[in-house]
Structure 1
């Protein structure tokens, strides 16, 4: 058994894909596709579904990928917080935390928290929560 991918349902899949390309260097693993039909409907227990699907490589891990979906008829769900039940965030280890925060903000994301040292003075582990342009939470860590 192995972990395969993480899926995010986007409001604007092209904008979100570009954000992850710019900030984290994700690459397209295949051309975008449209998923629809009875098999798709049965698989996710919805009817008349049309999904635009984009697959991006995970930074440093081609065997795991980020799958972005945009539904033609999305549900109007609220953006979660760090304590909302369900998937909370995805995490990236970065070399320069402050520079990555700046790039996230430049690319349309936003800060959620403040940079915090979760380690010690001798062995720091810096961490911060940010949001992508659609409000999904991203944890950044620097050892």
Structure 2
């Protein structure tokens, strides 16, 4: 059986604003068309009566035209979500390899993101020096920025 990773879904309060954040700061690229989904088939798949969602897929950087996407959707009705922390069970964060962790950290903060922790580094024997930081996007989802020297 052939298996290929396709996408990760991120539910947003405002999919347009959040996707714009990832396009501007992380060089993600929209993959048309925008989605506007509803119907019995979606209700059956999600277990949510009268579900309706809108959004878009963003091609993640560094993987070419057939690489995985970040699927950012908004439901018409979206309950509040408790803040997640790096140790919260479940999917914890999305990570990007970047040239300058400090500079992109500041760009995330300037674009409405927030800090989780501070810039950190460590030597990994046999691999190199890791510089990384955890931040939150404008909707509170955790992002890891990392570079290796």
Q: Same fold (TM over 0.5)?
A: yes
Structure 2 counterpart of 1:91: 95
After superposition, where does 1:107-122 map in structure 2 within 5 Å? 107-119=111-123
Structure 2 counterpart of 1:21: 23
Q: What TM-score do you get using the length of structure 2 for normalisation?
A: 0.91
Q: Provide the rounded CA distance (Å) in 2 between the counterparts of 1:59 and 1:108.
A: 21
The reply to whether residue 51 of structure 1 matches residue 53 of structure 2 is yes
Structure 1 counterpart of 2:131: 126
The reply to whether residue 65 of structure 1 matches residue 69 of structure 2 is yes
Q: Deviations over 1:84-122 (max 9, x none)?
A: 1111001110011111111111211111111111226xx
**Count of residues paired in the alignment:** 143
Q: Provide the rounded CA distance (Å) in 1 between the counterparts of 2:123 and 2:59.
A: 30
Question: In 2, are the aligned partners of 1:19 and 1:107 still within 8 Å (CA)?
Answer: yes
Gaps of 5+ in 2: none
Structure 2 counterpart of 1:6: 8
Shift of residue 28, structure 1, vs aligned partner: 0.6
Structure 2 counterpart of 1:141: 146
Structure 2 counterpart of 1:81: 85
Question: In 2, are the aligned partners of 1:10 and 1:70 still within 8 Å (CA)?
Answer: yes
Q: Provide the rounded CA distance (Å) in 2 between the counterparts of 1:70 and 1:84.
A: 22
Q: Provide the rounded CA distance (Å) in 2 between the counterparts of 1:116 and 1:11.
A: 30
Question: In 2, are the aligned partners of 1:22 and 1:107 still within 8 Å (CA)?
Answer: no
Q: Provide the rounded CA distance (Å) in 2 between the counterparts of 1:31 and 1:25.
A: 18
Q: Provide the rounded CA distance (Å) in 2 between the counterparts of 1:27 and 1:79.
A: 27
Deviation above 2 Å: which 4+ runs of structure 1? none
